[in-house]
Amino acid sequence: MRRLAISLILVSLMCLQSFNIPVSNLDSDDTNNSYFNDQIFNGTGFNQISTYTTPDNETHVNRPEISWSIISPGLMSQRTGACSVALDSADEVWLIGGFMDPNPSQSGDETAVSLIEVYDNVNNTWEPSPMILPSPQMYCEAEIIGDKIFVVGEWPRGSSNPPQISSGIVQIYNISNNTWFSGSSMLPLNERGNGGMAESGGYLYYAGGVRNQAGNDQSNRTYRYDPVNDSWDRMADMHQPRASFELVNFHGQLYAIGGYQGTSTWNRQILTYVERYDPATNIWTNLSSLPVGHFGWGATVVNDEIILVGGNDGSPKKTVYHYNPVQDTWSKGKNIVTAGLFDVEVQEINGDVVWASGDMSTYAYSTWGQSFSDASEYHQFSGSHSGWINSPIMDLRPNIHSTATPVQITLNGTNSPGGTLGFQYRAGSSQTLVGNSEWIGSDGTKNTTYPLGINDLNLNDPANYLQYRVEMKVTDMENWDEPDLDNVSILAEHASFSTMLPQIVNPLSETLVLQTNHEILGSGQMYVGFAPCNSLGSIIGDWSTVYFDGISNYLDDNQGMLLNAYGTLNSSANHGISIDWNLDFGELIGITHLCSKVGSNATTISQYIHSDLIEINKDLTVVIDGIETLQSGSPVTGGVPIEFNLIHLFESTNKTLSSGDIQARLSFDIRIYLKPK
């Protein structure tokens, strides 16, 4: 009988590697950075230039500041207490009547005047008019209705013996035939001057004012003058008596702003009260107080808001305030250029603004230190005004291992008859490059804007960063007809690695599942690719690339690096197109490292070459297992099968071979024993 003894030898083989790694997601935002939809434009990073956002998240355009230029020469005479009207058809402003001090060094020579000076808005010049008032009139109010100019009221400022009172005079100029005639004076005992007057619905409304020479009997009464019947009617009283204030017609409502009251000429109470009168209901309503109290300021409506110039809060002022009655907001504008003054006349004329005359005296309505003005300034109408909203510079990539190219910007909103929306953008490979680039409009320059709707950008190169700015342009400034901005959406095509690359790959190893994400407009191909490279990342061979269009796959692999490769759609993706790539690598002979890329071919070509290299490791450990009961030198009975397992493992990745051949060897030392006879 023969007995067999077995000697076991463990063999470590060099095999070629495959690779299969666990899927590890890259850190990224929960949202897809390649799609933005901005609806609120005052958030972090946004810069609003001449725009603002109200609590209801609606964005509006700030009215432009009024910038003043001096008219030189100014008026032909220094005066205060005048009244004025704007004749839009003639492009003229008339400064009518007033109070003049012929010789400031002499006391008691102050007088009311009949002078009329005309401002030519085209040439920005003042000239005396050949027409004069039939009777001198000071601290009057003037309005135009149809083809007639109404000059109403007077205050006989000063002192005389016997004392004078207002005559309540009404003088009317017929523009059509260049004639003056008288209207019915104010009602007896209610004659006034230095009050407020405004036109509404073809009527004149005169409120407040004073009657005696001291100017300390302020009234709260309101009277309505009917030009057709030449008659006066008393209307509802204001809540506060006042004088030296402005009554302004804004959207058919009359606003009484500021003024003074009090019986002492040395200690007037300067008012912060604002009241609104509704001619339709004959009701006065108290409104929010002024930010500052003033009397004697001039007012007009410009850009669908009330501006108030100059005034006195204890001393003459050169300030300008903007009041928006609709939103009940106040803002301080640019000061006038010349000295502070009050009882100044201000008119809007075809979009332009002009002020003239006024009182610069330290002590209001006193003969001490009187100083009247012949100055005048104007503001030129710009024709339109734009506000801008600058977005933050946005990173369009889903994560750092991706590339993006903006392809579409959609501007949603509504243009109005007098306002339009548009946008510009700038894009680049870095935030610094974007910040230093010129804005781009529809003609490729900063001189135009893209319109409402969907706009294709047609960039030639990838641009990971983008910034846009929206222009809200108002062309009907008189009615301040703003466009309505809803939202801005941005779509960028991108290609990104969603999972981390393996650090090591083994040849012929288990299938690698790699995930990428793509955003494309319409249809196109998505791909991943690998190329041999050295340890420094220099590519030293051709790319092996697998393409997927959402339906079919195509493998371009001249080097034979991939035994099998295909992509499938991952339905769990929240944004973009997520693809799971199944990759089986071949023997990778002569390759030490791999470079990798991800890309999309659609409207644009978006391709990202990963900065990390993949090391190729071919060390395979092979273990013969399952014969632990046999020891070296143990006898084995002949003719009995021996069963064992062959275990192979790439210890660098803890993966096994998926294809190829393994050779292992068991050594048997066979000895034959003869049974003795």
Confidence check: pLDDT of 5 > 70: no
CA 608 to chain CA mean position, Å: 33
Token pair for residue 159?
Answer: 């002192």
For residue 188, the SS3 value is coil
User: What pLDDT, on the 0 to 100 scale, is given for residue 23?
Assistant: 38
Separation of alpha carbons 39 and 621, rounded Å: 60
User: What pLDDT, on the 0 to 100 scale, is given for residue 107?
Assistant: 75
Confidence check: pLDDT of 1 > 60: no
- Whether residue 367 contacts residue 359, with contact meaning beta carbons closer than 8 Å, is answered with no
Q: Give the amino acid at 299.
A: A
How would you classify the pairing of strands 504-505 and 614-616?
Answer: parallel
Question: For 457-492, how does the pLDDT look when each residue is reduced to its tens digit (9 = 90+)?
Answer: 999 889 999 999 999 999 999 999 999 999 999 999
Among 48-57, 155-164, 215-224, name the one with the lowest average pLDDT: 155-164
Confidence check: pLDDT of 110 > 90: no
Question: For 51-85, how does the pLDDT look when each residue is reduced to its tens digit (9 = 90+)?
Answer: 999 999 999 999 999 999 999 999 999 999 999 99
Among 150-154, 345-349, 654-658, name the one with the lowest average pLDDT: 654-658
- For residues 303-325, average pLDDT: 96
Q: Which residues contact 263 (CB under 8 A, 6 or more apart)?
A: 216, 217
User: What pLDDT, on the 0 to 100 scale, is given for residue 32?
Assistant: 55
Work out the pLDDT band at 626, boundaries 50, 70, 90.
confident
Work out the pLDDT band at 642, boundaries 50, 70, 90.
confident
User: What pLDDT, on the 0 to 100 scale, is given for residue 435?
Assistant: 95
User: What pLDDT, on the 0 to 100 scale, is given for residue 20?
Assistant: 35
Residue with tokens 């946004």: 46
Element housing 171 (H / E): strand 170-174
Among 470-474, 477-481, 578-582, 633-637, name the one with the lowest average pLDDT: 633-637
- Whether residue 221 contacts residue 234, with contact meaning beta carbons closer than 8 Å, is answered with yes
Handedness of CA 353, 359, 362, 365 (dihedral sign): negative
User: What pLDDT, on the 0 to 100 scale, is given for residue 88?
Assistant: 96
Looking at per-residue pLDDT, the higher value among 449 and 635 belongs to 449
Work out the pLDDT band at 640, boundaries 50, 70, 90.
confident
- For residues 37-57, average pLDDT: 93
Token pair for residue 653?
Answer: 């990745």
User: Which residues in 395-433 are b (16+ Cβ under 10 Å) and which e?
Assistant: bbbbbebbbbbbbbbbbbbeebebbbbbbbbbbbeeeee
- For residues 245-266, average pLDDT: 91
Among 24-33, 321-330, 369-378, name the one with the lowest average pLDDT: 24-33
For residue 363, the SS3 value is coil
Question: For 392-436, how does the pLDDT look when each residue is reduced to its tens digit (9 = 90+)?
Answer: 999 999 999 999 999 999 999 999 999 999 999 999 999 999 999
User: What pLDDT, on the 0 to 100 scale, is given for residue 675?
Assistant: 67
For residue 309, the SS3 value is strand
Confidence check: pLDDT of 25 > 70: no
Q: What angle do CA 234, 237, 239 make, to 5 degrees?
A: 170
Separation of alpha carbons 592 and 26, rounded Å: 25
Confidence check: pLDDT of 533 > 90: yes
Q: Which residues contact 155 (CB under 8 A, 6 or more apart)?
A: 81, 138, 139, 166, 192, 193, 194, 209, 210, 211, 215
Q: Which residues contact 117 (CB under 8 A, 6 or more apart)?
A: 75, 76, 94, 95, 126, 127, 128, 129, 356
Question: For 487-513, how does the pLDDT look when each residue is reduced to its tens digit (9 = 90+)?
Answer: 999 999 999 999 999 999 999 999 999
- For residues 207-235, average pLDDT: 97
Residue with tokens 């000059």: 151
- Cβ atoms within 10 Å of 247's Cβ, excluding its own: 26
Question: For 134-144, how does the pLDDT look when each residue is reduced to its tens digit (9 = 90+)?
Answer: 999 999 999 99
Q: What percent of the chain has pLDDT over 90?
A: 78
Average pLDDT, the chain: 90
Query: What is the DSSP code (8-state) at residue 558?
Result: T
User: What pTM does this model have?
Assistant: 0.82
Q: What is each CA distance from 234 to 201, 231, 282, 286, in whole angstroms?
A: 16, 10, 10, 20
Token pair for residue 307?
Answer: 């501006």
Work out the pLDDT band at 265, boundaries 50, 70, 90.
low
Separation of alpha carbons 391 and 411, rounded Å: 13
Confidence check: pLDDT of 2 > 80: no
Work out the pLDDT band at 301, boundaries 50, 70, 90.
very high
User: What pLDDT, on the 0 to 100 scale, is given for residue 396?
Assistant: 95
Q: What is each CA distance from 607 to 34, 399, 462, 528, in whole angstroms?
A: 15, 14, 8, 9
Backbone angles phi, psi at 432, to 5 degrees: -60, -45
- For residues 171-198, average pLDDT: 97
Work out the pLDDT band at 158, boundaries 50, 70, 90.
confident
Work out the pLDDT band at 448, boundaries 50, 70, 90.
very high
Separation of alpha carbons 215 and 195, rounded Å: 11
Work out the pLDDT band at 574, boundaries 50, 70, 90.
low
User: What pLDDT, on the 0 to 100 scale, is given for residue 33?
Assistant: 67
Separation of alpha carbons 287 and 289, rounded Å: 6
Handedness of CA 290, 291, 293, 298 (dihedral sign): negative
Peptide bond before residue 188 is cis, with ω within 30 degrees of 0: no
